[in-house]
Amino acid sequence: MARSRVAALEQELDPDAAEERLATFLNLVARYMTDYSERLDLEHRGSQLRLDIRALTVVADTVNGPVPLSRMGSGENWVGYHVLAHLALHKWFRQKERPVPGFLFLDQPSQAHYPPEKDANGAIEGLKDEDQEAVMRLFKLIYDAAEEMAPGMQIIVTDHADLKSDWFAASVIARWRGHEKLVPQEWYTAIG
């Protein structure tokens, strides 16, 4: 019994075995990222995506070679691929019941399409059609991922966009427009 336990512990400490497990886990996360990417209209969509843990970046493996996030063009791509990476990692964490907090906080993921200076009470109708569609796709992906990982995952999004769909409206907890704020005024005026 003790020998089998020692052998099991030695196997866990074996650097080759640990590296192989890490590669497997990263491949699973990469598959989730690639699957999620099919939902967004990003540059290199359809390419195999992966996390490069040495450079801490997203990479698209294309027929012309690897393309790191820094060379993927627009702000829409950067935001989209960051969101995909976070969703994929949290999906894996939830599946493996890892001790990682089950929440993700995203601040203004629509900003590449919807700068706050164009805010008209959150309406996206003033945006170009392709920007409206991109914002809708991004929020729908976030919504669907949250539903898929529920109840062990909560995704909190603060944004100016206010989409006119039932699933979006049902997900909104608060609208901080005008005098209402994320941190109520009385909280910090009471402190002095």
Is 47 part of any domain? yes
Is 28 part of any domain? yes
Query: Rounded to two decimals, what is the model's pTM?
Result: 0.82
109 or 191, which is more confident: 109
Is 16 part of any domain? yes
Is 164 part of any domain? yes
Is 114 part of any domain? yes
**Domain count for the chain:** 2
Average pLDDT over residues 4-21: 80
Same-domain pairing of 124 and 172: yes
Q: What is the pLDDT of residue 149?
A: 96
- pLDDT tens per residue, range 117-168: 555 555 556 556 788 888 899 999 999 999 999 999 999 998 888 888 899 9
Write out the residue range of the structural domain in which residue 73 sits.
Answer: 1-77
Same-domain pairing of 115 and 177: yes
Is 188 part of any domain? yes
Q: What is the pLDDT of residue 21?
A: 87
Is 84 part of any domain? no
Which helix (H) or strand (E) covers residue 105, if one does?
strand 103-107
Same-domain pairing of 106 and 191: yes
Using omega within 30 degrees of 0 as the cis cutoff, is the peptide bond preceding 101 cis? Answer: no
Same-domain pairing of 71 and 28: yes
Q: What is the pLDDT of residue 141?
A: 97
Same-domain pairing of 129 and 185: yes
- What lies within 8 Å, CB to CB, of 42 at 6+ separation is 72, 76, 77, 80, 81
pLDDT band at 84 (very low <50, low <70, confident <90, very high): very high
Tokens of 23: 């590669």
Q: What is the pLDDT of residue 119?
A: 53
